[in-house]
């Protein structure tokens, strides 16, 4: 043939080597994917992170749905364990940061986050991408928004932002020393100093630190009778002593705003700052004890939180009323774990009535808490949202709803139930839908949007609804930023007009015009309309003239603990509550 004996041996040897290499690759792949060895690796990672006693860091393993934490982080945030599921970790993280951080970025299979903690309401997350050995590139994911990775690639420096300032923890002791010797008021200002790097092609940590040190020095030199404290990168507290008049107070505030709005030369560059200010003023004479000084710091942290939320203006001026509400909410939310653990909720049902014949066409499933701290159901829902427990609330409602149907406590009827934000359609909800459909009834799903729904989840929700004969309801139309976008993407069967628009229709021309246009849209698109919050005869008559399909409100019935065996028919001409 064409090959002699030597060539044949070479070919066979080469083939066998290639085969062995392939076998090794497959074995190595299996080794790392094996649940047994993955468990050993997880245990190793957990032990490794346990050695960190002074740094708050954690590792997210998305494939295993696990989060491993350092000892320091687990102790600081009082986590029950250094290893838990991603969902449980998100809940604890949201609660521990008072809503500042809603969860971790799990877009990659394994990402290390190092979090410099600045108290119970704030920290920055660093998402790091492995680059080469012990170097890495990445992007900063801040609680006020994520910067795209391609826009801010950088080689991070291990150096801290050295400003020469005392840390904010020293404020308590210094206030006790200085306040008794101060006349007039003390002005406290929380400051976010962000360097505007929009014109830079590369994110430079050292350059940003240099800019912030420069501005800090300018502020310290401008105000002589003052003190400045470092919180974390870009966050500071400025304390001005001896403010004796309102004119001096406003003058100091305007001067700080003017200084932070200038354009400064730094090397060969011109730099501006994006500044957020929080303002709190207190008489020096009322600060005498450690407790009073610590309360001042708590109020400053509250101002920082409000600035990060970005809903109350810049500068944000401290509000005692908002602060008391914040403290009340913190006290209430301590009971949420027990409420969920012990399932301390009950379901009530409010009829939805047809304006064509007065017949009850469906019942809305509403939630009430049996715990004394939540007499108001809206308060319970808002607190669950703020603590990242909206999914858990939905799941508990569906579980209770299913139990009532299985036990025969509820008769068969058309029901409508809320689904909040990104809650998935779980087995309980789909079981309810199938049961009602098999008995000739239908489940309506009210999509409540307190956040924009992810496109993939929205598509899955639509497919599941079709498969299980669920009809979709656009709840509280016109109240949320994402509502119009979702209304365009989804073919809703029903649209709900919120009570804010139907209240006082007989006296408010603007509301009448708005509601009329919504109903016109529904008629044009073959979508049924439901008007919520009908409470008197005048509102009912106007809605009848506008040809709304269904109505709901206290005018017909308050929420009931059960559902009548036969649908109630109301006299829609003259019906009292």
Q: DSSP string covering 97-110, please?
A: TTTS------SSSE
Judgement on whether residues 358 and 472 belong to the same structural domain of the protein: yes
User: 3-class SS at 341?
Assistant: helix
Residue 454 belongs to some domain of the structure: yes
**Those residues with Cβ within 8 angstroms of residue 398's Cβ, 6 or more apart along the chain or in another chain:** 417, 426, 428, 429, 432
Residue 373 belongs to some domain of the structure: yes
For residue 437, what is the domain's CATH number? 3.20.20.450
In a shared domain, residues 312 and 377? no
Look up the pTM and report it.
Answer: 0.64
Same domain, 388 and 411: yes
pLDDT tens readout for residues 56-75:
566 666 666 777 777 766 77
d(CA 73, CA 58): 8
Residue 353 and residue 249 share a domain: no
Residues 468 and 352 in one domain: yes
Helices 377-386/390-406 angle, 10° precision = 130
Which of 8-22, 297-311, 429-443, 511-525 has the largest mean confidence?
429-443
Reduce the secondary structure of 538-568 to three states and give it as a string: HHHHHHHHCCCCEECCCCCCCCECCCCCCCC
Residue 132 pLDDT greater than 60, yes or no:
no
What are the tens digits of pLDDT across the range 307-337?
877 777 778 889 899 999 888 888 888 888 8
Q: Does residue 503 lie within any of the structural domains?
A: yes
Other residues' Cβ atoms within 10 Å of the Cβ of residue 100 = 20
- Tens-digit pLDDT profile for residues 476-526: 765 554 466 677 778 889 999 888 888 888 888 888 888 898 899 899 989
Residue 241's H or E segment, with its range, is strand 235-243
In a domain, 72, yes or no: yes
Q: Do 483 and 364 share a structural domain?
A: yes
Q: Note the pLDDT of residue 459.
A: 79
Query: Does the residue 561 lie in any domain?
Result: no
Structural domain contains residue 577: no
- Same domain membership, residue 345 and residue 296: no
Residue 103 CA to residue 86 CA, distance in Å, equals 9
Residue 202 scores a pLDDT above 90: no
Are 304 and 390 within one domain?
no
Is residue 430 a part of any domain in this protein? yes
Residue 463 pLDDT grade (very low, low, confident, very high; cuts 50, 70, 90):
confident
Place of tokens 């409100």: 553
Q: Is there a single domain that holds both residue 390 and residue 478?
A: yes
End-to-end CA distance of the chain: 102
Q: Are residues 93 and 204 in the same domain?
A: no
Identify whether residues 353 and 207 lie together within a single domain.
no
Pick from 289, 315, 331: which residue ends a domain?
A: 331
Given 297, 331, 365, the domain boundary residue is: 331
Q: Are residues 362 and 302 in the same domain?
A: no
Decide if 475 is inside a domain: yes
Helix (H) or strand (E) run with residue 46 in it: helix 35-50
**What's the structural domain count of the chain?**
3
Residue the block writes with tokens 């350092």: 70
Give the CA-trace dihedral at 72, 75, 78, 80, to 10 degrees. 100
**C-alpha to C-alpha distance for 390 and 384, rounded to whole angstroms:** 5
As a residue count, the chain comes to: 577
Examine the pLDDT at 469 and tell me if it is beyond 80. yes
Amino acid 118: pLDDT: 32
Domain of 220: which CATH number?
3.30.70.270
The alpha-helical segments, DSSP class H, found in 124-261 are: 171-178, 205-222, 246-260
Query: Mean pLDDT score of the chain, rounded to an integer?
Result: 77
Tokens 């698109």 found at: 525
Last residue in a domain, options 331, 354, 386? 331
Cα separations (Å) of 414 from 117, 199, 309, 426?
A: 50, 58, 40, 19
SS3 category, 418: strand
**Which residue range(s) make up the domain with 55?**
49-151
């Amino acid at each position: 043939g064409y090959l002699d004996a030597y060539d044949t041996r070479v070919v066979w040897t080469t083939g066998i080597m290639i085969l062995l290499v392939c076998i090794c690759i497959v074995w190595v792949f299996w080794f790392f994917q094996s649940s047994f060895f993955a468990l050993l690796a997880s245990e190793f990672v957990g032990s490794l992170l346990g050695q960190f006693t002074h740094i708050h860091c954690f590792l997210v393993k998305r494939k295993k749905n696990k989060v491993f934490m350092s000892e320091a982080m687990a102790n600081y945030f009082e986590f029950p364990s250094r290893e838990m599921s991603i969902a449980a970790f998100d809940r604890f993280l949201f609660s521990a940061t008072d809503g500042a951080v809603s969860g971790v970025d799990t877009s990659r299979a394994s990402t290390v986050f190092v979090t410099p903690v600045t108290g119970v309401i704030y920290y920055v997350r660093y998402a790091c991408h492995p680059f080469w050995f012990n170097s890495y590139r990445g992007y900063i994911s801040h609680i006020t928004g994520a910067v795209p990775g391609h826009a801010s690639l950088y080689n991070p420096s291990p150096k801290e932002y050295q400003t020469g300032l005392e840390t904010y923890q020293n404020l308590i002791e210094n206030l006790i020393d200085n306040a008794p010797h101060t006349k007039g008021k003390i002005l406290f200002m929380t400051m976010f100093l962000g360097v505007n790097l929009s014109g830079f092609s590369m994110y430079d940590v050292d350059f940003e630190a240099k800019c912030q040190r420069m501005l800090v020095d300018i502020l310290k030199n401008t105000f002589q009778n003052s003190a400045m404290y470092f919180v974390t990168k870009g966050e500071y507290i400025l304390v001005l002593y001896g403010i004796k008049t309102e004119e001096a107070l406003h003058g100091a505030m305007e001067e700080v705003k003017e200084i932070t709005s200038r354009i400064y030369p730094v090397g060969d560059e011109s730099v501006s700052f994006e500044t957020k200010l929080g303002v709190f003023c207190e008489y020096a004479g009322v600060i005498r004890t450690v407790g009073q000084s610590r309360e001042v710091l708590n109020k400053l942290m509250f101002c920082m939180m409000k600035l990060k939320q970005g809903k109350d203006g810049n500068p944000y001026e401290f509000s005692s009323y908002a602060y008391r509400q914040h403290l009340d909410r913190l006290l209430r939310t301590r009971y949420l774990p027990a409420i969920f653990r012990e399932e301390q909720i009950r379901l009530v049902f409010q009829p939805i009535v047809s304006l064509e014949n007065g017949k009850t066409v469906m019942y809305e499933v509403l939630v009430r808490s049996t715990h004394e701290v939540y007499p108001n159901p809206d308060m319970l829902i808002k607190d669950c949202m703020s603590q990242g427990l909206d999914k858990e609330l939905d799941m508990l409602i569906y579980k209770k709803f299913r139990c009532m149907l299985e036990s025969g406590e509820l008769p068969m009827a058309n029901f409508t139930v809320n689904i909040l934000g990104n809650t998935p359609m779980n087995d309980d909800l789909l079981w309810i839908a199938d049961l009602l459909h098999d008995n000739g009834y239908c489940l309506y799903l009210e999509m409540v949007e307190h956040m924009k729904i992810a496109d993939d989840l929205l598509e899955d929700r639509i497919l599941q609804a079709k498969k299980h004969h669920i009809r979709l309801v656009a709840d509280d139309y016109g109240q949320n930023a994402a509502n119009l976008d979702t209304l365009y993407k989804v073919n809703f069967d029903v649209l709900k007009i919120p009570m804010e628009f139907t209240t006082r229709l007989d006296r408010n021309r603007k509301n009448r015009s708005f509601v009329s246009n919504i109903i016109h849209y529904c008629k044009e698109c073959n979508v049924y309309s439901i008007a919520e919050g009908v409470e008197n005869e005048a509102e009912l008559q106007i809605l009848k003239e506008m040809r709304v399909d269904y109505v709901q409100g206290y005018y017909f019935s308050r929420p009931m603990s059960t559902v009548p065996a036969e649908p109630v028919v109301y006299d829609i001409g003259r019906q009292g509550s």
